[in-house]
Structure 1
Amino acid sequence: MSEAAGAGSAPIRSPCTNICRIDDATGWCVGCGRTLDEIVRWGTTDGADRDGVMAQLPARMAASRVRRM
């Protein structure tokens, strides 16, 4: 079931850091770690799917930092 944004509903939590650039090698945003598809669909994706993406982000960001060294 998707969450509807409306009066009284909580805003959708986003990992966006306003550093928006997709890394060509990984396909992940260098600021938040999401793929372009995940970013585009974020507002319409259900909470469980967003939670799944959020769970992957720490490992993606760590891998990106190692790759840039």
Structure 2
Amino acid sequence: MTATERPVASPCVSICALDDDDICTGCQRTVEEITRWSRMTNDERRKVLGLCHERAKASGLVWMLPTKSNN
């Protein structure tokens, strides 16, 4: 991370509950990803956000995904 680069924000949405696979139902992070977040580099955080996106798609949580215009 450069001196001018801001930290990648946490995806936490304050809905903190783990499913049977120990994935947070709010942010889609694993317990390990949540606990390590503050020590991750921005590149690591971006990778985790991508994994969260994939988990949200796989579980049908489309409300978490950015919308695209169909124009």
Q: TM-score if structure 2 supplies the norm length?
A: 0.69
In the aligned structure 2, how far is the partner of 1:11 from the partner of 1:50? Answer: 9
Secondary structure (helix, strand or coil) at the match of 1:32 reads coil
Off by >3 Å, runs of 4+ in structure 1: 8-12
**5+ residue gaps, structure 1:** none
Deviations 1:28-55 (A, max 9, x none): 1000000011001101111111110011
Pairing 1:20–2:32 present: no
The higher relative CO (CA closer than 8 Å, separation ≥ 6) is in 1
Q: TM-score if structure 1 supplies the norm length?
A: 0.70
Per the TM alignment, residue 11 of structure 1 is displaced from its structure 2 partner at its CA by: 5.2
**5+ residue gaps, structure 2:** 62-71
- What do you get for the CA RMSD once the two structures are aligned? 2.1
Match of 2:53 among 49, 55, 58: 58
Identity %: 37
Q: Contact 1:20–1:29 (CA<8 Å) still a contact in 2?
A: yes
Pairing 1:38–2:50 present: no
Per the TM alignment, residue 62 of structure 1 is displaced from its structure 2 partner at its CA by: 2.0
Corresponding residue pairs, total: 59
